[in-house]
Amino acid sequence: MATDDLMSKVLEALGDAQPTVEAIHDLTDLAEVPSSMTIAEVADRLALSAHTLRYYERAGLVTVARDSQGHRVYDADAVRRLVFLTRMRLSGMSMRELQHYIELVDAGERTVPERMAMLAEHRDTIVRRLRELTLSLAAVDYKITTYGGATGSDVERRPSRDAAA
Amino acid sequence: MATDDLMSKVLEALGDAQPTVEAIHDLTDLAEVPSSMTIAEVADRLALSAHTLRYYERAGLVTVARDSQGHRVYDADAVRRLVFLTRMRLSGMSMRELQHYIELVDAGERTVPERMAMLAEHRDTIVRRLRELTLSLAAVDYKITTYGGATGSDVERRPSRDAAA
DNA sequence: ATTTGCGTTAGAGCGCGCTCGAAGTCCTAG
DNA sequence: CTAGGACTTCGAGCGCGCTCTAACGCAAAT
């Protein structure tokens, strides 16, 4: 995924600090967004390719104005929306869902409840995924610490030749 | 992913307990594995499709014997390996990496160091992913709690009509 | 005897999310 | 005047991980 790098960047910036609401706020919204940017600048800032930005636009996720030469001009709103989109993609929301979400946004205030519902559901998805990963981490740790040890690995526990993984 | 369901199952079984090494151990390895199973039984047990099991076999991830009728017979080792594979897939290891890992396993004991290195690297990947998701969770929570509030959402903070996501 | 059901194979197809290529336009620097 | 470079559009292509189809085999149940 092209969006993978963004988070690495963000996490680097964060250091070992706990990711708090404030941190998020600082890292995305409060970072001053120039009032207009070229596609290259946006691509650079969000750590995704110009190709991907055009793709998102084609997918209807964001609308971008053109200058006199037909080149894209990203305004602050567009950039902020892209920050949001990138974050949602990265946390596992599908293009399809995002398209739906954006349709809701474009449909106006009255869709706020449905948007909230989507966010809440996505939140659940993230939490579930966190639990899965935590479990997998424990499993991998277990395998690492016991590999070749007296009791065998969790996958091959019998006296153990190389029968299993 | 076909493997997604397995973890749901496991997590359900876990309830709210912290996923510990012991829990993992109980849930996978110690659960008694019949000495032989049909493809349907294995599929059911691992919550993936028979199609996927055949696919994994074709991919060289596991070797499965046949009975007199040419039907697959999964022995305990095969099942344990599949448990391992499923867990790795679920935590984000690619088919390609798993193929390499299995090659190493089949190459014998002397590849243990390289296997350990792979596991350690994968461990890092999981940890990174956990941090990403934790950050995303905070962002989504922030957006949920501030949606439409006095200060605007993190994506549209100005007095806010529906300009941004 | 035939239907039902579970399995087999080889290979095609699919959904996703990009990613890239071709061909063209426009501006700037040398 | 020309070359380079950044951009444009449109559409094709790709890597991944399945997922499914077709045609078939075998065996127990009706």
- Tens digit of each residue's pLDDT (9 = 90 or more) over B99-121: 999 999 999 999 999 999 999 99
Among A7, A136, A164, the residue with its CB nearest the CB of B77 is A164
pLDDT confidence of B33, banded at 50, 70, 90? confident
Of the two residues A116 and B150, the one the predictor is more confident about is A116
Report the 10 Å Cβ neighbour count for A4: 14
Q: Is the CB of B49 under 7 A from strand D?
A: yes
Q: Quick one: pLDDT at residue A153?
A: 41
pLDDT confidence of A1, banded at 50, 70, 90? low
Q: Is the CB of A36 under 7 A from strand D?
A: no
For residue A68, what are its two tokens? 């006199």
Mean pLDDT over B11-35 rounds to 57
Of the two residues B81 and B16, the one the predictor is more confident about is B81
> Which of A26-40, A57-71, B1-15 is predicted least confidently?
B1-15
The DSSP output letter for A110 is G
Nearest nt to the A71 alpha carbon by C1': D7
Mean pLDDT over B31-38 rounds to 86
* Helices and strands (DSSP H and E) totals, chain B: 7, 3
Q: Quick one: pLDDT at residue B162?
A: 45
Best residue in B133, B144, B146 for a mutation probing chain A (most A CBs within 10 Å): B133
Chain Cα centroid distance, residue A19: 14
Mean pLDDT over A12-33 rounds to 55
- Do residues A11 and B128 make contact, with C-beta atoms less than 8 angstroms apart? yes
Q: Quick one: pLDDT at residue A133?
A: 96
Q: Which residue has the tokens 């946006």?
A: A42
How far: B123 CA to C21 C1' (Å)? 38
pLDDT of residue B29 exceeding 60, the answer is no
CB contact under 8 A, B139 and A8: no
Mean pLDDT over B21-45 rounds to 75
pLDDT of residue A102 exceeding 90, the answer is yes
Q: Quick one: pLDDT at residue B147?
A: 76
* Helices and strands (DSSP H and E) totals, chain A: 7, 3
Nearest nt to the B40 alpha carbon by C1': C6
Q: Quick one: pLDDT at residue A32?
A: 77
Q: Is the CB of A59 under 7 A from strand C?
A: no
**B134-164: buried (b, 16+ CB within 10 Å) or exposed (e) per residue?**
bbbbbbbbbbeebbeeeebbbbbeeeeeebb
Of B128, B140, B154, B125, give the one whose Cα is nearest residue A7. Answer: B128
Nearest nt to the A53 alpha carbon by C1': C18
CB contact under 8 A, B77 and A163: yes
pLDDT confidence of A7, banded at 50, 70, 90? low
Length of chain B: 165
pLDDT of residue B75 exceeding 60, the answer is yes
- Do residues A12 and B140 make contact, with C-beta atoms less than 8 angstroms apart? no
- Do residues A87 and A11 make contact, with C-beta atoms less than 8 angstroms apart? no
pLDDT of residue A165 exceeding 50, the answer is no
Q: Which residues pair with B36 in a beta bridge?
A: B75
Residues B129-157: pLDDT tens digits?
999 999 999 999 999 998 754 333 444 44
Q: Is the CB of B68 under 7 A from strand D?
A: yes
pLDDT confidence of B160, banded at 50, 70, 90? very low
pLDDT of residue A94 exceeding 90, the answer is yes
Please provide the average confidence, as pLDDT, over all residues in chain B.
82
3-state secondary structure of B120: helix
3-state secondary structure of A37: strand
pLDDT confidence of A159, banded at 50, 70, 90? very low
pLDDT confidence of A39, banded at 50, 70, 90? very high
3-state secondary structure of B65: strand
